[in-house]
Each structure stands twice: as structure tokens, then as C-alpha cells.
Amino acid sequence: MYAFIVKGSVVGHVLTRRVLRKITEIPGIAIDVILALFWMPDYTSYWNNNSAAIYYLDGTSNTGVMQGLFGWIGELLGFAFGAPLGGFIGALVFMPDLILRGILFLKETVFQLTDDFALFVGNYRWFTEIGAYQNPIGYFEKAWNISLGTIGVLIGVVPYTLAKIVEFVFPFISLAQPISIVSTYT
């Protein structure tokens, strides 16, 4: 997540800096034109001919004084607002990645649990006597073991539940333990 936030901050501050610099240069261009027309007759030619310019942090430059100064205002605003905004967007971009990683982890966990359940069913003698595989390898062997285990549990749960109800009514009779032993037949 840290990498997403840092990348988002860097990209956000660079893009915001450039965009805000161009937006804030607009009044500077207007002021430069006004100064060039009414105040100094050769105002802009000095900057163009003598290659004097105002440079920004990314190496770009402007030739107008006011355009450059207003550009620096946009540059500072880009630093102030771009990095936090880009970090926030980077964190938002991280969320789908996090969800995808969670789904992949969940898929692997479910596959592992089903494999473990198929192997667990294959280790009980009662299930192996009715056709469960000791070490299921393929899909159909695992599916057979899982279906045998599910049906076996459904068949065994009815008498076990009835025995627990009888034990609740008559606490001196112990029926659930023998039924569980017969059901599992280990």
C-alpha cells in the first residue's frame, strides 16, 4: 500500500504542479502583455533575445516575468495540494488490488479446505468401506469423497440429534456417544 500512496503522491504532485502552473500563468500572460504594450516598449524581446528565463523545478522555463512569477504560485499550489490528493488517489487505486488479493487468498483457502476435507473423509474406515479413496488425487476422487462425507454427516446427524434430545430429557441415559462411535466407525 505504501508504494501505491508514494507513487500516487509523486504523480499527483507532478501533474497538479504542471496543470496549476499553466492555469496560474494565464493572469501572468495578461500582465506581461499589458506591461509590454503600455509600460516598456521592448519588454518581452529582452527575455527572448538574451535567453534569460525563469526556471521551474522540472527544468521547464518561461520567458515572461509575470508569467514566470504566477507560474511559481501554481508550482507551490501543486506541491501543497497535488501530493496529498495523489496519495489519496493512490490509496483508492490500492483497494481493487487489495480486493483481488483477498479473492485469490480466499480461493486458495477454499481449495485447500476442500482437499483437506476429501483427505479427512478418506482416512475414516467407515467411508473407505463404502468406496472412499484413501488419498484422493483427481477431481472426481475428491468430489466422491466430499459427497460421501456430506451424505454420511447428514445420515449420522439425525440419530445423533435424536440421541441428544433423549439425553436432555433423561440425563441418566447416554446415547449420543455410542451413536457417534457407530457413525464414525474409527
What pTM, to 2 d.p., does this model score? Answer: 0.45
The more confidently predicted of residues 149 and 65 is: 149
Write down the domain spans for the chain: 2-109, 125-184
User: Is residue 186 over pLDDT 50?
Assistant: no
Q: With bands split at pLDDT 50, 70 and 90, how would you rate the model's confidence at 180?
A: low
Segment 13-32 shows an average pLDDT of 79
> In this structure, how many other beta carbons lie within 10 angstroms of the beta carbon of residue 84?
14
Q: Among 58-62, 129-133, 168-172, where is mean pLDDT lowest? A: 58-62
Out of 17-21, 107-111, 147-151, 181-185, the most confident range is: 107-111
Segment 29-34 shows an average pLDDT of 74
Quickly list DSSP for the chain.
Answer: -HHHHHHHHHHHHHHHHHHHHHHHHHHHHHHHHHIIIII-TTHHHHHHHTT--EE-TTS-EESSHHHHHHHHHHHHHIIIIIHHHHHHHHHHHHHHHHHHHHHHHHHHHHHHHHHHHHHHHHTSHHHHHTT--SS--SHHHHHHHHHHHHHHHHHHHHHHHHHHHHHHHSTT---HHHHHHHHH--
> For the chain, what is the mean pLDDT?
77
pLDDT at residue 138, rounded to an integer:
84
Q: What is the pLDDT of residues 33-88, one digit of tens each?
A: 776 666 555 555 545 555 456 666 666 666 667 777 777 888 788 888 888 888 88
